[in-house]
Amino acid sequence: MASMKLSFLAAGGYQGAAGGPGAWPVAPQNCDPDVAARSLSASLELARRADELGFDWVSVSEHHYAPLMLTPNPLVWAGALTQVVKRAKIALLGPVLPINNPVRIAEETAMLDVISGGRVVALFLRGVPFEWKVYGNEPADTKGATQEGIDLILKAWTCPETFAWTGDHHRFEVVSVWPRPLQRPHPPVYGSGNSEDSVVFAAQRRLGLAISFAPPDQVKKHVALYLAEAEKAGWSPTADQVLYRAVAQIAETDAEADAQAARTAQGRFTPYFLGGPKRVQGQIEALREAGVGVIDLAFGAMGHERSLTALEVLAKEVAPVVRDW
C-alpha cells in the first residue's frame, strides 16, 4: 500500500474576536482590516513552514461572510501561496461551483497550474446551503449545477477546439480556455464523497474521492462503494485518490491537546485528529485501514504559535511513522 500523504489547510482564519462560534453572516463592522491583514500573513507563514517541513499538499477552501476563512476566492489565495509554497502541491478544496462561473474557474485553475509549475490539485464542491445565496438567488438544483460544471471544466481543459456548451444549468456560446493547464491531460480532480450518489458520480468520471468530517466506518463504506463503482467503469483508483479532511488539535502530549480543544471548542466541528503523536498516529491508521491515502488537516482555532508547534509535531513525529507503514 502507498504511504500516507499529509496536507495542511491554509485556512486564513481571522485571528480576532468576531461574533459567536458558527455565526453567519457576520456584519462587516466586526472585521478589523489590520487584524485581517495579520491573519492572512500568519497563514502564509504557516503554509511556508508546512512546505519546508515536507507536507505533501497545502490546501485552500472557499467561504463567505464570516471570519472562519478569509478566502472568498480560493484561487486568489492559492496564487499567493505559489509564492511561498515552492514544493508541495497546492490543493483547491475547493471552489463552490453553484455560485461561480465554471468557465472562469477552468481558466483561473489552468492559470494557477501554469504559475505553480504543474502542482495544482482540484476539488470542485457543491458547498453548504447558507452560501448558495451569497451572489443572488439560490440555484434550483445545486447538485446538478455542480456535476454539470465539473463536466464542463474537464472538457474545457482537454478539448483542443473551441466549443459551445448547452446544458441544463450552464450555457456558453464559446469556450476556449487560455492558458491550457500545464499538467496533462489536466490537474488531478476529486469529487465529493459525502453522499452515495456523489461517490458514484466521482467513480464514473474517474475522479478522486474527497470525504470530510465523517467517522471511519462511514468513510470505509463510501470508499468500498467508490472502488466497486470504479471497477464497473473499468479503472482502479490509487490510494492517494482518496482524501479525508477533518479538524485537528495536535500538541506534544495528549493532555495538552485535550486542554487546547476544551479551550477552543467551536460549534459544529470538533477535532477528529486530537492528541499527541501516538494517539494521532492511531487515528490516521484507522482512516488508512478505511482506504484513505491523503489526510487534510484543518487546525481548529489553535493560534499561530500552537499551529507552528502542531506542524513540527506532525512533521517530525507523525509523518515519518505513517509514511513508513
Q: pLDDT per residue over 261-290, tens digit each? A: 888 765 556 899 999 999 999 999 999 999
**Range(s) of the domain holding residue 161:** 5-322
Structure confidence at residue 48 (pLDDT): 98
Quick: pLDDT tens for 184-229.
Answer: 999 999 999 999 999 999 999 999 999 999 999 999 999 999 999 9
Structure confidence at residue 94 (pLDDT): 86
Is there a contact between 219 and 246 (Cβ–Cβ < 8 Å)?
no
Structure confidence at residue 20 (pLDDT): 63
Whole-angstrom Cα distance, residue 228 to residue 226?
Answer: 5
The torsion region of residue 121 among left (phi > 0), alpha (psi -120 to 50) and beta comes to beta
Is there a contact between 88 and 55 (Cβ–Cβ < 8 Å)?
yes
Structure confidence at residue 21 (pLDDT): 62
Is there a contact between 266 and 217 (Cβ–Cβ < 8 Å)?
no
Structure confidence at residue 23 (pLDDT): 82
Structure confidence at residue 138 (pLDDT): 83
CA triplet 32, 50, 278: central angle to 5 degrees?
110
Whole-angstrom Cα distance, residue 325 to residue 272?
Answer: 21
* Residue 253, CA atoms < 13 Å, CB-side half-sphere: 3
Structure confidence at residue 301 (pLDDT): 78
Query: How many separate domains does the chain show?
Result: 1
CA 15, 271, 48, 306 dihedral sign is: positive
* CATH value at residue 55: 3.20.20.30
Residue type, 263: R
Whole-angstrom Cα distance, residue 58 to residue 44?
Answer: 10
Quick one: cell of 58? 497545502
> What is the chain's pLDDT, residue by residue, as a tens digit (325 residues)?
568 999 999 999 999 988 666 788 999 999 999 999 999 999 999 999 999 999 999 999 999 999 999 999 999 999 999 999 999 999 999 899 999 999 999 999 999 999 999 999 999 999 988 899 899 888 889 999 999 999 999 999 999 999 999 999 999 999 999 999 999 999 999 999 999 999 999 999 999 999 999 999 999 999 999 999 999 999 999 999 999 999 999 999 999 999 988 887 655 568 999 999 999 999 999 999 999 999 999 997 788 999 999 999 999 999 999 988 8
